[in-house]
Structure 1
Amino acid sequence: MDPATIALALLSGALIGFVLGLVGGGGSILAVPLLVYVVGVASPHAAIGTAAVAVALNAAAGLAGHARAGNVKWPCALVFAGAGMLGAAGGAEIGKAIDGQALLAAFGALMIVVGTLMLRGRKGGANPDVRLTRESASYLFPRLAGYGLAVGLLAGFFGIGGGFLIVPGLIAATAMPIGIAVGTSLVVVTALGATTAGSYALSGYVDWPLVLVLAAGGVGGSVLGRLAGKRLAARKNLLERGFAAVVIAVGLFVTASAL
């Protein structure tokens, strides 16, 4: 990579990390457009594969703090992630078989849908004590596995973490509060990102030096994002709506450019 590409990749990684630290999610959906239109990755498939690695690394880094705080329902997360990995493996194979420009157009459409859903906000459930046990498995297991498979398919196809889908899926399946759903979702995001990344890596669609540069930028960006998030905590809803508007705008640009 030339110095200009390295600088753009660092800035892109910092922006992704900053958004993750500021609003607590959503930054990964910007990774593919940034890699294609800012860093200059020529292949949409390579951009998706590289972004998937970055997504998995970001989620794994954030998981430790939530686990220490007790915000992870591990049995629920493992069932959701297990089914999701099957879906992600299938989705990645489908995505690799589709024309790159068509895949970008579909990705842009997904961004528009995601941004619209983000504008509606997220509401948590009312069962903080939910647990996957022998007694509850008869109704919780199929719900977790069903939502996990569907979300994994989309995450693998588009090379995204899918947190914006996983969190509502966990809440719908278990009625857990949103704070616990966010922490639990990071287990799933890590698993789905790693599965998608592995599939794309086996096909030669991961730029490993670029992954390292993105990760380096992401570390600094996430620190700044968390600091800014603490200062602007009272305006979190406004920040999330502003970010949703940016996601919709970028989605429109990506779709128009691809078409």
Structure 2
Amino acid sequence: MTTLQTILALGSGSLVGFTLGLIGGGGSILAVPLLVYVVGVPSPHVAIGTSAIAVAASAAANLAGHARARTVKWPCALVFAMSGIAGAAIGAQLGKMVDGSRLLALFGGLMVVIGVLMLRPRRSGDNPDVKLTQESVGELLPWLIGGGLVVGVLSGFFGIGGGFLIVPGLIGATAMPLINAIGSSLVSVTAFGLTTAASYAWSGLVDWPLALLFIAGGAVGGLAGTRLARHLSGHKNALTRVFSGIVIVVGLYVIARSIFG
């Protein structure tokens, strides 16, 4: 790795962490394009495997904060995550079988979809006391398992955290409030990222030094983004809309580059 690539890796990781700290989600979708088009990782598969490590590390750090604040609904979160781990393993295997340029085109399409979803207001559930008990297991378990499996496959295939899919999935399955869904989703994001990373690492498709640089940059950027978010809390919706536009534009760029070279 050259000195320039080291600087670009730290800078790219900082940008992802900064975005996560500033708007609270979605920033990790930029990891793969940054690794491919900025850092210069030649293989999309290596970029996906490496970004999965960074996604898992970022989610684990944020999960610790939510756990201390007691916003995680652990039984529901663990069921969703455990079923999703199987899905992520399947998705990662499928992703490795797809040609790199085609995989990037699909990834670009996913970015456009996520960018559009970010423009929609997040709905919140109305059941803050939801619990996975003997009485509720028959109603909640099928939705938690099914939702976790589907999101896990997408997460493993594209090497993303999947938080924007997990949060509405948890709310739809359990009607838990938004803050609990966000905290609980981080259990799955961490688990899915580790599962995807392990699958890619087994195939030799993780650049470990690059992953460490990306994580280090993300930690610094995350602190800066979190501090700035406190001063711009009243403008969070505007920031999210701007970022969603950036995600859509980058997604279209990824599609164009993968098709036309």
- TM-score, normalised via structure 2 length: 0.99
1:57 offset after TM fit, Å?
Answer: 0.4
* Residue deviations 1:56-101 (CA, integer Å, cap 9, x gap): 0000011111001011000001100011000000000000000000
2-side partners of 1:73 and 1:237: how far apart? 26
RMSD between superposed Cα atoms in Å: 0.5
Q: Secondary structure at the match of 2:25?
A: coil
Structure 2 counterparts to residues 145-184 of structure 1, below 5 A: 145-184=145-184
Q: Which residue of 2 aligns with 1:238?
A: 238
> Alignment identity in percent?
64
Q: Distance in 2 between matches of 1:147 and 1:219?
A: 30
Equivalences, count: 259
Question: Hey, what's the Cα distance between the residues in 2 that align with 1:2 and 1:95?
Answer: 28
Aligned partner of 1:210 in structure 2 is: 210
Displacement, 1:209?
0.2
Q: Do structure 1's residue 94 and structure 2's residue 83 form an aligned pair?
A: no
Distance in structure 1 (CA, Å) of the matches to 2:228 and 2:26 = 16
Which residue pairs with 2:23 in the alignment?
A: 23
Distance 1:115 1:206 in 2: 27
Which residue of structure 2 lines up, in the alignment, with residue 130 of structure 1?
A: 130
**What is the SS of the residue equivalent to 1:120?**
coil
Amino acid at match of 1:241: R
1:65 aligns to 2:39 (yes or no):
no
Residue of structure 1 equivalent to 2:193 = 193
SS in 2 for 1:130: coil
- Give the letter for the 1:205 counterpart: L
Give the 3-state SS of the residue equivalent to 2:133 in structure 1. coil
Consecutive aligned runs of 4 or more in structure 1 exceeding 3 Å deviation: none
Distance 1:202 1:121 in 2: 39
* Deviation, structure 1 residue 134: 1.0
TM-score (norm: length of structure 1): 0.99
Q: Partner letter of residue 39 of structure 2?
A: V
Q: Hey, what's the Cα distance between the residues in 2 that align with 1:82 and 1:98?
A: 25
For 2:13, the aligned partner's letter is: G
Q: CA deviation at 1:40?
A: 0.2
Is 1:143 the counterpart of 2:143? The answer is yes
Instruction: Structure 1 unaligned segments of length 5 or more: list them.
Output: none
Q: Aligned equivalents of 2:114 and 2:141: distance in 1?
A: 26
Q: CA deviation at 1:120?
A: 1.0
CA separation in 1, counterparts of 2:171 and 2:125? 6
Q: CA deviation at 1:138?
A: 0.3
Unaligned ranges ≥5, structure 2: none
| Mapping 1:40-59, distance limit 5 Å | 40-59=40-59
Q: CA deviation at 1:121?
A: 2.1
